[in-house]
Structure 1
Amino acid sequence: MIRKGTTLPLLCAFGLLSACTSEGTRNETNGAQAAVATTSSDTPATADTTQKVAATPAPADSTAGDSVAAAPAEAPIKDEAADNPGAILPHKRIVAYYGNPLSKRMGILGEIAPDKMLARLDGEVKAWQAADPSTPVQPALHLVFVTAQGAPGKSGTYRMRMSDHLADTVIAWAAKRNAIVFLDIQIGRSTVEAELPRLEQWLKLPQVHLGIDPEFAMKNGAIPGKKIGTLDASEINYATNFLNDIAVKYNLPPKILVIHRFTQRMVTNYKNIKLRPNVQFVMHMDGWGDRVLKKSTYLAYIKKEPVQYTGFKIFYYNDTKKPGSKLYTPKEVLALNPKPMYIQYQ
């Protein structure tokens, strides 16, 4: 959340909006390297790059109106899809690398060469397997495939669609590790309904799943990077229904939907989110900061408003920004209640 009296510093750059980032870090910094090919009529826009603010326990004087209450006891997970053939959750824990290959600043997925990136992912998979031998680890690559922009572009939607080739490339990388793939969308002023149909060509593959980032879902004329966006349960329900229909149409194992969240208002009317028989739902704690702040955010906005499964993000650089801070270890994350089943590294 944004603390009272703070603003989001902006830089002018030619390229992608950098999600989940902060000023002054080595690689998870504002901006991106270069413009990318699109499949829409948009031309690459000069982007006002953004800063994703730190995880925080939402102080009482917050201008965002968020509040903290004691987290409830762990709620039982209702998942009709869990017994379907090929269901990943809760039988495996997903460990994902996040980013975009066209930017060294959006996450580990694009920061280093593909072979080195996959080798580093191997190391994380081994660490998580050692921390919880009872739960197999499923590696994943989480590609930011529709990126928010600081300028409207020809479509006026403040979003850029990546090329088909980029999705195909990341899916090919993932195949080298028997990894699954998430295609993530930052819709800007577009809509979930407008962006999902193009993704069907990849979502019909059994190993490809979906992520949506409410931070960049802009309402009421807002510009990405100027304020934190929001998604309502009705928009999320469209996505879960879309995924459920694809699973049925192509006779696929259950699809997974990951929704990013680090403030209360990023997701509204969570009690109205509809679970589907062929979709597994992850509410993912997406904030950065020291371990105290990250745990507070997880309890306040993920555990307090449970849907189904939970996720937890680890930032290689932003989480150690505060002097003396250390990354959460797998064992420390597994001490959280509920235990996250989706782990993402940026």
Structure 2
Amino acid sequence: MPSRVVPRFLLASIATIGVVAFAGCTSVPEPDERRAEVVTTQPVEGASVVADSDPVVRAVETSRLLFESAPAVVVSPAGDAEATLLSAHVAVELGVPLLLDDGADGAAPVDSAVPETSASAPVTGNAVAEEIERLGASTVVAVGNIGGGQFDGLDIIASDADAQALSDATGTSLAADPAAASIPALAELAVPDRSKTTSSSSTDPPLDPMPVPAAPLKSTIALTTDAPSDAASLATARAAGVPAVVLPADAPDPLRSSETIAALHEAGAASTLLLGEAFGSLPDPAWSVRSAASGTQLPGGGQHLFADRLFVALYGAPGAPVLGVLGEQDVAATIERAKKVSASYDDLTEKTVVPTLEIIATVAAGAEGADGNFSNELPSERLEPYIDAAAEAGVYVVIDLQPGRTDFLTQAKLYESLLVKPNVGLALDPEWRLEPGERHLTQIGSVTAAEVNSVSDWLAALVERDGLPPKMLVLHQFRLDMIQDRQDVDTSHPQLELLIHADGQGGQPDKQATWRALHTGAPEGIAWGWKNFYDEDLPMLAPEQTMREVSPQPDLITYQ
């Protein structure tokens, strides 16, 4: 006999006997042999990314990640957002996967390469039919206008994409309120009370057997986006009892969202699912998830640096007024002064203004010293009071290196105990990088792009290792030859946000000419810093002038 099919105008299911499986699949069991229980599976630890460009494939991959078996599935037409959202509510209430039909009636093959971080194997062939067979499903709830040929041999409960009709056909309760048919509402949809689930022994159940949902998966959370094409994957996650956080499809980076960072931290989940094509743009999803789950919020909120904030810094060395204003007062007064200086920019920009300290950790020296490198390395203990006070006050810190005749990487490693703190970045000052035989103040120093890259490789690995937020890496420059082969500087590490700091002093026409020259041929996507000198600039720009006359506007403004 044919499969059980409910025409669009009927609301009750019709019993089926002697069903025949579709080609290539095992026979569907007789009704009394069918298992009603839904069986879920715990995803692998870490981040699993489901980001295929085809929403049909994403829906299948999500089902495979979370479900071992299910007596029923819900199928909705791909590309029909209204039908999919209604179907999503049904799938969540029944506790079963939601799959999508591409309208090809099972004929079109699917060949998907799964992202490296996904726990799924590649999806090939007739993806939907194969997934239904894998799940052992005997019933398909078909919503809206879908092709039924690939479901031959299965019980089909068909319904228009209408809330009342679908509720009647499936025994679920769908809200008629259009506002409920949205991705955010779906993410908040309550998972059914498993203790009150209708069993297959109930009188005239709409589905035979009626699914008995599995207990909600533990220690798992999902991130998805508000793209309509992500509704199916979201529904399948919610059907498995997985809580979900919705991000904008045009801004899917979890590190930009304070709310997402808080949610991931609070969840403390071992497994995180990233469900949506937009997540394919994340360069390192595993690190992004670990960093966000730390719960760390950088000054200004979130974990990114330059997109929506302006850093305003005091520069200098502790206890050394001659090297800059940072050294003119004690720790507490330095923090208060940094906050006061940064506050002068609050009304001049729509960005969040972040008070900042740039602390010279290794100071260029006129004498070679015991180690012969013409650089005095301050002990980490000398800097820690500033860093700890800054962290408590919402102040960012950059530690600055003036390495003399040694290399930047050697000196950077001396401060690893400070650089593992979330609010601490690093600055390289090539003016004070000497070659053998050179001495400070007899020439301007320089650094190769290769040496800069050795530092960025090490620092990025440190951030990756400890799941830290991205770090600021500042490159000081006021002459083009200070950074040799600058076009080869590696800006690809997602764990770092690089900035070129134009720190020349003198008259404003000369400073502006330097600013323009440094921008020519600079690495793409790099941020920019400007320095105001209290005594050496002729004249020093006021905050209003800095924001008006320095174009493009800087991301970091430092005072020395």
Query: TM-score, structure 1 length as denominator?
Result: 0.71
- Measure how far apart 1:296 and its partner are: 1.1
Does 1:161 find its partner at 2:377?
A: yes
Task: Quote the Cα distance in structure 1 between the aligned partners of 2:315 and 2:439.
Answer: 23
Contact 1:147 1:159 in 2 (8 A): yes
Equivalent position amino acid for 1:199 in 2: Y
Equivalent position amino acid for 1:312 in 2: W
Does 1:123 find its partner at 2:340?
A: yes
> In the superposition, relative to structure 1, how do residues 261 and 328 fare at CA in structure 2: closer, same or farther (>3 Å)?
farther
2:553 matched residue in structure 1: 339
Does 1:318 find its partner at 2:536?
A: yes
Equivalent position amino acid for 1:151 in 2: A
1:274 matched residue in structure 2: 490
Deviations 1:83-114 (A, max 9, x none): 56511222211111110112111011002344
Give 1:183-222 correspondences, 5 Å limit: 183-222=399-438
> In the superposition, relative to structure 1, how do residues 222 and 150 fare at CA in structure 2: closer, same or farther (>3 Å)?
same
Deviations 1:186-220 (A, max 9, x none): 01001123112221111111111101100000114
Equivalent position amino acid for 1:316 in 2: Y
1:26 matched residue in structure 2: none
2:16 matched residue in structure 1: none
- Measure how far apart 1:328 and its partner are: 4.1
Contact 2:449 2:483 in 1 (8 A): yes
- Measure how far apart 1:176 and its partner are: 4.4
Residue of 318, 323, 333 corresponding to 1:101 = 318
Does 1:264 find its partner at 2:459?
A: no
Task: Quote the Cα distance in structure 1 between the aligned partners of 2:548 and 2:427.
Answer: 23
Contact 2:387 2:397 in 1 (8 A): yes
1:8 matched residue in structure 2: none
> In the superposition, relative to structure 1, how do residues 201 and 265 fare at CA in structure 2: closer, same or farther (>3 Å)?
same
Task: Quote the Cα distance in structure 1 between the aligned partners of 2:394 and 2:456.
Answer: 25
Contact 1:81 1:280 in 2 (8 A): no
2:527 matched residue in structure 1: 309
Task: Quote the Cα distance in structure 2 between the aligned partners of 1:151 and 1:311.
Answer: 30
2:394 matched residue in structure 1: 178
Deviations 1:276-310 (A, max 9, x none): 11100000001111222211111112x11323001
- Measure how far apart 1:247 and its partner are: 0.9
- Secondary structure of the residue that 2:357 maps to in structure 1? strand
- Measure how far apart 1:169 and its partner are: 1.7
Does 1:90 find its partner at 2:307?
A: yes
> In the superposition, relative to structure 1, how do residues 81 and 196 fare at CA in structure 2: closer, same or farther (>3 Å)?
farther
Structure number with the bigger relative contact order (C-alpha 8 A, sep ≥ 6) is 1
- Measure how far apart 1:337 and its partner are: 2.9
Contact 2:397 2:425 in 1 (8 A): yes
1:19 matched residue in structure 2: none
Query: Which region of structure 1 is more displaced relative to structure 2, 250-259 or 114-123?
Result: 114-123
Query: TM-score, structure 2 length as denominator?
Result: 0.45
Runs of 4+ in 1 over 4 A off after TM superposition: 80-85
Contact 1:260 1:285 in 2 (8 A): yes
Could you say which structure has the higher helix fraction?
2
Equivalent position amino acid for 2:536 in 1: N
- Secondary structure of the residue that 1:105 maps to in structure 2? helix
2:360 matched residue in structure 1: 144
Task: Quote the Cα distance in structure 2 between the aligned partners of 1:129 and 1:161.
Answer: 35
Equivalent position amino acid for 1:97 in 2: L
> In the superposition, relative to structure 1, how do residues 203 and 113 fare at CA in structure 2: closer, same or farther (>3 Å)?
closer
Does 1:245 find its partner at 2:457?
A: no
- Measure how far apart 1:331 and its partner are: 4.4
Task: Quote the Cα distance in structure 1 between the aligned partners of 2:446 and 2:369.
Answer: 21
Contact 2:338 2:357 in 1 (8 A): no
Give 1:12-51 correspondences, 5 Å limit: none
> In the superposition, relative to structure 1, how do residues 173 and 268 fare at CA in structure 2: closer, same or farther (>3 Å)?
same
- Secondary structure of the residue that 2:323 maps to in structure 1? coil
Deviations 1:203-248 (A, max 9, x none): 1111111011000001142112221100111111111111110110
Task: Quote the Cα distance in structure 1 between the aligned partners of 2:503 and 2:429.
Answer: 9
Task: Quote the Cα distance in structure 2 between the aligned partners of 1:113 and 1:318.
Answer: 24
1:224 matched residue in structure 2: 440
Contact 2:380 2:418 in 1 (8 A): no
Q: Work out the percentage of aligned pairs sharing the same amino acid.
A: 26
What's the Cα RMSD here?
1.9
- Measure how far apart 1:329 and its partner are: 2.6
Task: Quote the Cα distance in structure 2 between the aligned partners of 1:124 and 1:288.
Answer: 19
Aligned length: 261
